[in-house]
Structure 1
Amino acid sequence: MDVITTAVTAGAGEGGVSAAYQMLKSRLAAQSPSVADAIADVEEDPGSRSRQFALSDALASAGLAGDRYLRAAARNLIDEVERRRSARTPATAKLDGAPDHAVMKVFFATDRELSGDRHPARQFGSVRGQLRYGSCEVSIPRDHRMGEMESPSLLRLEFRQDPEQHVVLLSADLAERDSCLAELGQSIAANGTRSALVFIHGYRTTFEDAARRTGQLVYDLGFQGTPIFYSWPSQGKLSGYILDEANVEWTQADLAAFLADVLQQPDAEHVYLLAHSMGNRALAHATASVIAARPDLAGRIREVILAAPDIDAEVFRHQLLPSLSAVPNPLTLYASSEDSALRASKAVHGYARAGDSGVGLVTAQGVETIDASKVDTGFIGHTYFAEQRSALSDMYYLIQKHTRAAERFGLQAVEGAMGRHWTFRV
């Protein structure tokens, strides 16, 4: 990794508050919009190796990686990080002999094209490819904190991902469709709950990001079934919104085929579908397509959870919701008025999004809408479903205890002109 990328990762890992970091960031952003976008991506998840590589590539493309003045500023920032690190108290060694980390096996399907790189974080690119199946391994550190997706921080002199300390994509192995589905079916039959959870990521997400997030989510939820994720060809960067929109529409047929494969597993009696952001567009359309073709499979869908859905609110109400009415239980929709990503989407499209809890809050028969504004404290305000303890706790009771919104202790009902919804108690 080049010294500038290393320095930016270090500064972002400590919150981006130091003067040396802000000076380097300003100089880089002034030279190249693509570098500015790549820095923003690293700031959101400094531990993502794919985002670090994307920044390094952007620096090289802009001709900045070798700039001696920028390199000098980068070294100054790294020196500052190291000085701060040297003043810290060393971590206490583990003495009880307990395992350093858990390893979770996660099944996946993706229609990203292979990149030609064998590294798990870079194996799948951001262009369209054929639908492929496989499984991967994700590590969860022993001292994992609920709601966090631990990543390396140069503030702690962590230059590489370490399974003992970070959520890491350890491997990603492709398999032939039939053999993968056979193994998936065996996992569902053997897990004791005959259940599976399928996660569909949103905008600005790499394959690595999706795998790590799935591991973190199912671990924090204590989910005992089989974890699965579907990764469509998101660009994984801030500037990729328009192309992501095109690709999330393109992927719907592939996702429908994959969901049908999962739902047709003989022992898949309880399938939980969870999507985030733009991924909800693919999930809603694909699920409706599967139900239309195979109405008998609708009863296997235990829950549909829509987290911060970047879907036109009126399209959701009048076109998608009727198509999903065959799902046995109400849909769960997490919305927020503090979601800056959805506000930006509304500005682009001109219409309210289903995940916005403002004036156009979606309330409807067959939907339990949760206003997460009170727990949405992040800078981006778009990943509260996976990072806020109260949201995770709420999903825990929904998935693990099968408790409806009216019975979950962390929620309080609000009667509005358009119907009932719920907010978090604070």
Structure 2
Amino acid sequence: MDVLTTALTAAIADGGTGAAYEMLKSRLMGKSPRVDEAVADLEQDPGSLSRQFAVSDALAAAGLAGDRYLRAAARNLVEEVDRRRALRAMPGPADAANHAVLQVFFATDRQVTGDRHPARQFGAGRGELSYGSCEVSVPRGGQEDGPALPTLLRLQARADPDGHAMLLRSDVVPRDQYFPMLADSIGKAAGSALLFVPGYRTSFEDAARRTAQIAHGLRFAGVPMFYSWPSQGRLSGYMVDETNVGWSEPRLAAFLIEFIEQAAPTEVLLLAHGMGARALAGATIAALAARPDLAPRLRHIILAAPDIDAGAFQRDIAPALVAAGTVVTLYAASGDEALRAAHQTRDVPRAGDSGAVLLPVAGVQTIDASAADTSFTGAPQTAPGHSILADIRQLIAGQPAAGRSGLQAVESPIGHHWSINP
């Protein structure tokens, strides 16, 4: 990684403040739209290697990576961040195990790039369905005394002052080996699995990281999985993402059927964010229309800030999901970055909108999560109580909404719903 990208990443992870950071950023901004976008994406998740690579590639394409004045400013910025970190550093054993390495299974219809780096193994183009598993390192976050996760591979020490999750490796596995491996892991986890479908602006690497963070945050007692459709992984990619998520929906439906048939989970938790909720909702409806006998396996369908047309959700999607007998929970949050992008592109109410346009639907547990984080980015500075994971943990443990801490019942002209008060 070039020194400019290293400096920007370190400064953003450290809070994105300080005169040295502002000076370097001001010298870069406006030189290239591609650089501007890549830096904006990095500011949203500095722990993402794919976003770091995007910045490095953009700087090189703009001819800025070799500028000696910019490189000098970057070195000064790295020194400033290092000084701040040294002042905050707490004494302790250097070899303390502060990260947990989890195994996460995946399926993706992204294009295979041929690059061996796990963050670049799959690109943003469309491809054939690939299967495999990842190893992801996540900060332990004070959960050392909790029960061991079934997919915990090992504990390790990492010199990571920013506490980010990291994709360590990604292995593609032939289909005829994948499902027996998955079935074996699910069998050892008492038959439970979680399938996460990420939303707009999410690379393969970020999908893997977020899935591991979700499993760790939930202390999930089953096998975590994700389906990575070909999102462009960048701020300007909304329109392409919108096309690609529709293209992936029938593939996700076919995978969902095959996964339940071949891996034989006794219960599945389906979770999606933003635009990924479109694919998950449509795929689930299609899968159950083809195989209604699979419905009892689907214990929960959770939609976080779903980027779905509100009218279509109310008229068609929600009734079809509720009719399957699955518990459907919707977390509404207009402030979610994915929904903000949706409203800039489409002037149509979304199912995930909150506030005055929140949309309670019969049979769906609707929760106003405006006061919580619905992004699943797992930013280290985000307190656990500010994430919807705290409520989802109680939900999947069987707690009804009336008995969950942090939820408040709301009666309003738009209908009965719940609100998160972290």
**TM-score, normalised by the number of residues in structure 1:** 0.89
* Aligned partner of 1:117 among 106, 115, 128: 115
CA gap of 1:141–1:134, structure 2 versus 1, over 3 A, is same
Deviation string 1:53-110 (CA, Å, 9 cap, x unpaired) is 1100011111211222322222222232233344444531168xx7553221111000
- Who is 1:389 aligned against? 384
Contact 2:273 2:306 in 1 (8 A): yes
Change (3 A) 1:184 1:310: same
- In structure 2, which of residues 399, 409, 414 is the aligned counterpart of residue 403 of structure 1? 399
Equivalent positions of 1:340-351 (< 5 A) are 340-351=337-348
Whichever residue aligns with residue 422 of structure 1, its letter is W
In the alignment, which residue of structure 1 is the partner of 2:19? 19
Output the CA distance in 1 between the equivalents of 2:73 and 2:400: 54
2:152 corresponds in structure 1 to none
Q: Which moved more, 1:72-81 or 1:16-25?
A: 72-81
Secondary structure of residue in 2 paired with 1:303: strand
Listed one character per residue, the Cα deviations across residues 135-156 of structure 1 (whole Å, up to 9, x for unaligned) are: 111123345679xxxxxxxxxx
Q: CA deviation at 1:11?
A: 1.6
Distance in 1 separating the partners of 2:404 and 2:52: 40
- Cα 1:60–1:255 change in 2 (3 A) is same
SS of 2:29's partner is helix
Q: Please identify, of 248-257 and 133-142, the stretch whose mean Cα deviation from structure 2 is larger.
A: 133-142
The Cα shift of 1:252 comes to 0.6
**Distance of aligned partners of 1:236 and 1:17 in 2 relative to their CA distance in 1, 3 Å threshold:** same
Contact 1:142 1:164 (8 Å CA) reproduced: no
Q: Secondary structure at the match of 2:411?
A: strand
CA shift at 1:120, angstroms?
A: 1.0
Shift of 1:365: 1.1
Q: Name the residue aligned to 2:419.
A: 423
What is the aligned partner in structure 2 of residue 274 from structure 1?
A: 271
Q: How many residues align?
A: 405
TM-aligned CA deviation for residue 165 of structure 1: 5.5
Cα distance in 1 between the residues matched to 2:311 and 2:162:
46
Per-residue deviation, 1:410: 2.3
By how many angstroms is 1:19 displaced?
A: 1.5
Alignment check: 8 A CA contact 2:182 2:263 kept: no
**1:290-328 per-position Cα deviation (integer Å, ceiling 9, x unaligned):** 011111111110000001111111111112122213332
Match of 1:150 in 2: none
SS at match of 1:417: coil
8 Å contact from structure 1 (residues 47, 161) kept in 2: no
Match of 1:339 in 2: 336
1:50-199 aligned at under 5 Å gives the runs 50-89=50-89, 91-93=91-93, 99-143=97-141, 166-192=164-190, 194-199=191-196
Q: Which deviates more, 258-267 or 292-301?
A: 258-267
Post-superposition Cα deviations, 1:194-243, rounded to whole Å, max 9, x if no partner, equal 11000011111111111111111101111111111111111111111111
- Which secondary structure does the structure 2 equivalent of 1:47 belong to? coil
* Alignment partner, residue 284 of structure 1: 281
More moved, 301-310 vs 85-94:
85-94
| Residue matched to 2:349 | 352
- Give the % identical residues: 56
TM-superposed deviation, 1:9? 0.9
Q: In 2, distance between residues paired with 1:351 and 1:411?
A: 28
Is the partner of 2:37 in helix, strand or coil?
A: helix
Distance 1:144 1:255, change over 3 A: farther
Change (3 A) 1:141 1:309: same
AA of the residue aligned to 1:210: A
- Correspondence 1:307 to 2:304: yes
**1-structure distance, mates of 2:34, 2:236:** 8
Kept in 2, the 8 Å contact 1:141–1:163? The answer is: no
- Evaluate the alpha carbon distance shift between residue 268 and residue 250 of structure 1 in structure 2; reply closer, same or farther with a 3 A threshold: same
Greater CA drift, 294-303 or 314-323: 314-323
Measured after TM superposition, the shift of residue 266 of structure 1 is 6.1
Question: Secondary structure at 2:230's aligned position in 1?
Answer: coil
Q: 1:101/1:341 Cα in 2 relative to 1: closer, same or farther (>3 Å)?
A: closer
Which amino acid counterpart does residue 6 of structure 1 have in structure 2?
Answer: T
The 3 A distance-change label for structure 1 pair 143 and 357 is closer
Does structure 1 conserve the Cα–Cα contact (< 8 Å) formed by 2:210 and 2:378?
A: no
Contact 2:4-2:70 within 8 A present in 1 as well: yes
Show CA shifts across 1:108-137 (max 9, x none): 000111111111111111111001111111
Supply the AA of the counterpart residue of 1:169: L
Post-superposition shift, 1:261?
1.5
Local SS of the residue matching 1:419: coil
The RMSD of aligned alpha carbons is 2.4
| 8 Å Cα contact 1:307-1:355 kept in structure 2 | yes
Amino acid at match of 1:355: G
Question: What one-letter code is carried by the residue in structure 2 that aligns with 1:362?
Answer: L
Which structure 1 segments of 5+ residues have no match? 147-159
Q: Is the 8 A contact 1:115 1:122 kept in 2?
A: yes
Q: Is the CA contact 2:198–2:273 (under 8 Å) kept in the aligned structure 1? A: yes
Which amino acid in 1 is paired with 2:76? N
Report the alpha carbon displacement of residue 262 of structure 1 after superposing the two structures with TM: 1.9
Give the residue type in structure 2 aligned to 1:41.
D
Q: Deviations over 1:11-44 (max 9, x none)?
A: 2111111122112112211101110110011111
Q: Which moved more, 1:285-294 or 1:15-24?
A: 15-24
1:412 aligned partner, one-letter code: Q
- Return the alpha-carbon distance in structure 2 between the equivalents of residues 384 and 230 of structure 1: 16
Could you tell me how far apart the structure 2 residues matched to 1:144 and 1:346 are? 37
Which residue in 2 is equivalent to 1:155?
none
Structure 2 unaligned residues grouped into runs of 5+: 145-157
- Asked if 1 retains the 8 angstrom alpha-carbon contact of 2:197 and 2:227, the reply is yes
> Which secondary structure does the structure 2 equivalent of 1:268 belong to?
coil
| 8 Å contact from structure 2 (residues 134, 169) kept in 1 | yes
